[in-house]
Amino acid sequence: MKKYSHAWIAFMAIKRLEVIATTTDEKVISGVSDKVRTEAKALVKWFKNYRDFVIKGAWYPDDVFKDMATSHIVKYRPAEDGTYNTFGSLPSTHSIYTKMSKESPLKGKPYNIEGGNCADRCEAVSHSIIDNFKMLNREEKGCPIATSGNHIAMRFFILSHYIADCHMPLHCDCRPYSDGKGIHGGIEKKWEDAISKAYKIDKDNNRFFYDPDGYPLPLTASPFTTNVEKEIATRKYMHGWGGKNNNVWDYMSVVSQYSYLFSYFLIPEDFENTKSMKEFETDTEWGKYFEMYSTMIFSDAIDSVARIWLHIWIKYKDWAKV
């Protein structure tokens, strides 16, 4: 994903949290505890003090860390004698998980993992956010070793980048699609163009212009962005990790499994990266139904970012009460 796509996902995750905190739609919040909703509201309020850092923070992994070849990916390849053959579970609201559990021809079949540590990176950044919150809480104001709210907000937005990348199917596929060129680059350009046209961006100051509620100011809505915004406003929220998952690493590891399955479902095994975007649009499942599948990817990514952020926040707040 590209710069404004990552920033938009982070902003929509904040918007998703506000929906969880404030909606009266029982279809969205059925089973969600009052504590979770209260903390979601508090986290949204905290985030709105740092919204000008969303674009910079969400793009930091590409712009500064440049760890794309390792921490933005988990590369899978189907193999008859593969080391692994198990697949975990995610919340039933995760659309890619639900679809691939029923329709993937590779579900349950052996595979190898040939590189990447995105789940590890997500777990590590999550811990660093909690630790920095604890330092900010414990040290006196002005202490030279204390962190700041700005720094922590940046780390939240940095984390959203890694989470989103793991939802991009090609980031979990060993086929040579990960160079950012060819169809990989073409797909991400289509997303970036749609978002850049749909919202007013203050490029001189590296931020979005905002609507009265503090979210990116709409210009010309596209079916893709409209559908994603509708999905995050109406999708049921499940706070749990799903299945036997118990932390960020567990959750993101399973996300990567289903992103791998989704990639092979969307693109035929013999489809070469050298083929054109026109061939992609006519010869692949993804190309034929681009907006529908792109909506699934972004909506799942946004929901995952919101879920992980909220778990981090609650874990810190529980510590602070002791």
Q: How do the pLDDT tens digits run along the chain, 322 residues long?
A: 999 999 999 999 999 999 999 999 999 999 999 999 999 999 999 999 999 999 999 999 999 999 999 999 999 999 999 999 999 999 999 999 999 999 999 999 999 999 999 999 999 999 999 999 999 999 888 888 889 999 999 999 999 999 999 999 999 999 987 665 689 999 999 999 999 999 999 999 999 999 999 999 999 888 999 999 999 999 999 999 999 999 999 999 999 999 999 999 999 998 988 888 999 999 999 999 999 999 999 999 999 999 999 999 999 999 999 8
Give pLDDT, residue 181.
62
**Distances from the Cα of 298 to the Cα of 3, 10, 90, 270, 310, angstroms:** 14, 11, 16, 26, 18
**What DSSP state is assigned to residue 241?**
-
Give pLDDT, residue 179.
60
Give pLDDT, residue 144.
84
Give pLDDT, residue 193.
96
Give pLDDT, residue 42.
98
CATH superfamily for domain 3-316: P1 Nuclease (1.10.575.10)
Q: For residue 271, how many C-alpha atoms fall within 13 Å in the half-sphere facing its CB?
A: 26
Give pLDDT, residue 140.
85
**Distances from the Cα of 312 to the Cα of 21, 175, 308, angstroms:** 16, 34, 6
Structure tokens at 256: 């990567």
Give pLDDT, residue 107.
97
Map out the domains of the chain as residue ranges.
3-316
Give pLDDT, residue 221.
80
**What DSSP state is assigned to residue 19?**
H
Helices (H), the chain: 3-22, 26-29, 34-47, 54-60, 95-103, 118-138, 149-167, 182-198, 223-234, 248-266, 277-283, 285-288, 290-321
